[in-house]
Structure 1
Amino acid sequence: RLVIVDEEMRGMQGVELTRRRRALRARDKVAVIGISGNSDPSLIPRFLKNGANDFLRKPFSREEFFCRVSQNVDQLELIGTLQDLATRDFLTGLPNRRSFLEQSQRQLSAVDNGGMVAVAMVDIDHFKHINDSLGHEAGDQAIRAVASVLQANTRSQDISSRFGGEEFCLMVSGLDAAASAAHFEKVRQSVAALRLPFGDSVLSMTVSIGVCRMPLRSGNLHSLITEADRQLYLAKAAGRNRVCSADTH
């Protein structure tokens, strides 16, 4: 999280090391503090232009050193908090729609193999009835419960998100047709099995799921989401609480 670089080192100057380090890790991931006893007035701007967050001229006091370290670490933590607020849904902790679109597009752009990727739209059935009959707190609890099921069924290489309202979107890669069908059927069954105490009632729900599968090499995020959304509509029209899927090429 924090690198302290002296300009005068064997083998490589601090400015060059800072430049190379910054090429690997962005400012919001790693802070770099340059230090030097050199009186060259161009040294500070060269450090800053090459990616340093801060600079200390030697000799410096112990108190000043630890103040600069604390300030840079605090700034990293603040940036991390702001990024989390911008990319995570506040109710469920899942990535939000914007984050899902960015992560999914990067994942599609980074692969060049012949595997398959699936995008699924998941929607809570009769959600308005839950809100109208039990109140919005029950609706929030239902959304959080579905999100927990999705998180429990999200592998490290997959992405799950809350798209908005009672709708969620998932990207799952590396599964053949049978494994993909089994995966989303497990999600559907897990939600249907939920029984959540709520006041004097027991809250239960189902979800409808629309899935679109496409080869990674030709995967187009807009096409995947559009077809998954169409399959979701078909699942709703067929009676809800079911998975509808299509393969495209």
Structure 2
Amino acid sequence: MPNKLLIIEDNSSIAKVQKHIALKLGFEVDLAYSLGEAIALIEENDYFCAVVDYVLPDANDGEAIPFTIGAEIPTIVMTGKLDNQTRDTVLRYPIVDYITKEIRQSYNYLETQLRRLPKNQAVRILIVDDSPATRKHLSNLLQRHKYKVALACDGLEALEQLNIYPDIKVVICDNEMPNMDGITLTAKIRQTYSNEELAVIGISSSKDNQISAKFLKSGANDYISKPFYPEEFYCRLSQNIEMLDAIATIRLQANSDYLTNLPNRRYFFEQTQLNIEKNVQAQHSTILAMIDIDFFKAINDNYGHDAGDEVLKGLADHFRLHFSEHLIARLGGEEFAVYFKQSTSAEASQQLEAFRMSVELNSPSFSSKKIPFTLSIGLADSNETNVDAILKIADQYLYQAKSDGRNRLITA
């Protein structure tokens, strides 16, 4: 169900632009052209957030802001006023942000904020500060933007929180703390997490000009001096999270097959080789399967390549359904592979055989042209130390499955 957004704006042209932005981002939108209309809507609906005009026909001095805040609706204020008095009035309230209407970039910024807010619900941020008042203040700032929050009073507790919450994406840490200061904590964090996996933002009220450099040289992504304006805090935080998201997207694109979104050949080889090395140390064998669609060329020839792509995507979804706990990949064309984590050869054989039978039964539902197809599978259970060598063994069994009539599993 889409999130609901309330727009309170008396200028119909501006409201139309705001609504267009929100609809493009997937929001369900209600429009109010006055505070009175907004009150009626709020009484009947639950809103994810609101975009509020500062000046309305029945609320000339920002009276709509405390009303939406009082209704516990995260509020973005848009105003045509630029004077310091208006700014100070707006910032007295715990708003998400305020944006001026005068320039086109303002609407790009509004789109950025509305796109970010739903995503923030999946982002956990760790606040590390020995001051309860500072922890509470930062927690309130973060919760306005719908972030999840974890708290620690020093560096030692922060390391414990990182173990408890593996989804922490940003650590905001003060430097002056007992037991372990922020700079030492940053260096400890970097022993486990790269700055592409987790961002660290150092904060300090120290007048020592070297503190920021020490933080950054210890591995921090950013630094803010206390006291700071909430606007600066939010901007720096958003920039760091956007950087992490961009890196994650690049990694996903580099490691994923463009058609099926399964891991690609390169990622499969890298990750499987790492697991093989662990297996060798533990004196365990490696279990790996090669899987091929029977007569796939005939599918493309008879039904067209678009239909063939549908078959591949449908099969990929079926792989995810059956092998979610293992590493699956499309190696290329109609060829797939599965690396079995913590399974015996018998368990892998049983799972593959069930998968083969399920594909034979359900494959017509994978494509709009209801194309039936089957799979041939080769399963290797080997003590070889190289992924290429084990794949060759699985490929030999796959070739035997093809030679023996297809639609079957062959293993040692």
Global fold match (TM > 0.5): yes
Which secondary structure does the structure 2 equivalent of 1:213 belong to?
A: strand
Which secondary structure does the structure 1 equivalent of 2:400 belong to?
A: helix
Task: State the alpha-carbon separation in 2 of the partners of residues 81 and 197 from structure 1.
Answer: 27
2:294 paired with 1:125: yes
Q: Is the 8 A contact 1:19 1:51 kept in 2?
A: yes
Identity in percent: 39
Deviation at 1:219, TM superposition (A): 4.2
Deviation at 1:82, TM superposition (A): 1.2
Residues 166 and 114 of structure 1: is their aligned pair in 2 closer, same or farther, counting only changes over 3 Å? same
Task: State the alpha-carbon separation in 2 of the partners of residues 44 and 197 from structure 1.
Answer: 56
Task: State the alpha-carbon separation in 2 of the partners of residues 154 and 197 from structure 1.
Answer: 17
- RMSD, aligned α-carbons: 1.8
Task: State the alpha-carbon separation in 1 of the partners of residues 366 and 387 from structure 2.
Answer: 38
| Among candidates 214, 223, 227, match of residue 389 of structure 2 | 223
Deviation at 1:116, TM superposition (A): 3.7
- Identify the residue that residue 22 of structure 1 maps to in structure 2: 190
Task: State the alpha-carbon separation in 2 of the partners of residues 17 and 240 from structure 1.
Answer: 58
2:265 paired with 1:97: yes
Letter in 2 for 1:117: T
- Identify the residue that residue 407 of structure 2 maps to in structure 1: 241
Task: State the alpha-carbon separation in 2 of the partners of residues 119 and 176 from structure 1.
Answer: 11
Task: State the alpha-carbon separation in 2 of the partners of residues 92 and 119 from structure 1.
Answer: 20
Q: Deviation digits for residues 5-59 of structure 1, max 9, x if unmatched? A: 1111122221101111121222122110011222333322221121100011223
Deviation at 1:2, TM superposition (A): 0.9
Where does structure 2 lack aligned partners over 5 or more consecutive residues?
1-168
Which secondary structure does the structure 2 equivalent of 1:24 belong to?
A: coil
Q: Is the 8 A contact 2:315 2:366 kept in 1?
A: no
Deviation at 1:221, TM superposition (A): 1.6
- Identify the residue that residue 149 of structure 1 maps to in structure 2: 318
Q: Is the 8 A contact 2:288 2:390 kept in 1?
A: yes
Which secondary structure does the structure 1 equivalent of 2:338 belong to?
A: strand
Residues 154 and 219 of structure 1: is their aligned pair in 2 closer, same or farther, counting only changes over 3 Å? farther
Q: Is the 8 A contact 2:288 2:338 kept in 1?
A: yes
- Identify the residue that residue 175 of structure 1 maps to in structure 2: 343
TM-score (norm 1): 0.90
Task: State the alpha-carbon separation in 2 of the partners of residues 12 and 176 from structure 1.
Answer: 45
Task: State the alpha-carbon separation in 1 of the partners of residues 347 and 230 from structure 2.
Answer: 59
Task: State the alpha-carbon separation in 1 of the partners of residues 298 and 261 from structure 2.
Answer: 24
Q: Is the 8 A contact 1:116 1:174 kept in 2?
A: no
Which secondary structure does the structure 1 equivalent of 2:194 belong to?
A: coil
Letter in 2 for 1:242: R
> Structure 1 runs of 4+ off > 6 angstroms?
none
Which secondary structure does the structure 1 equivalent of 2:200 belong to?
A: strand
- Identify the residue that residue 58 of structure 1 maps to in structure 2: 226
- Identify the residue that residue 308 of structure 2 maps to in structure 1: 139
Residues 154 and 197 of structure 1: is their aligned pair in 2 closer, same or farther, counting only changes over 3 Å? closer
Which secondary structure does the structure 2 equivalent of 1:55 belong to?
A: strand
Letter in 2 for 1:150: F
Which secondary structure does the structure 2 equivalent of 1:33 belong to?
A: strand
Deviation at 1:114, TM superposition (A): 4.4
- Identify the residue that residue 354 of structure 2 maps to in structure 1: 186
Deviation at 1:177, TM superposition (A): 3.8
Q: Deviation digits for residues 85-123 of structure 1, max 9, x if unmatched? A: 111122222111111111112222234334443111111
Letter in 2 for 1:229: D
Task: State the alpha-carbon separation in 1 of the partners of residues 225 and 171 from structure 2.
Answer: 16
Q: Deviation digits for residues 141-187 of structure 1, max 9, x if unmatched? A: 1111221222122142x211111111101111443343332222112
Moved more, 178-187 or 1-10: 178-187
Q: Which of the pair has more CA radius of gyration?
A: 2
Letter in 2 for 1:146: L
Residues 175 and 33 of structure 1: is their aligned pair in 2 closer, same or farther, counting only changes over 3 Å? closer
Q: Is the 8 A contact 2:255 2:267 kept in 1?
A: yes
Return the structure number with greater relative CO, CA threshold 8 A, min gap 6: 1
Moved more, 27-36 or 172-181: 172-181
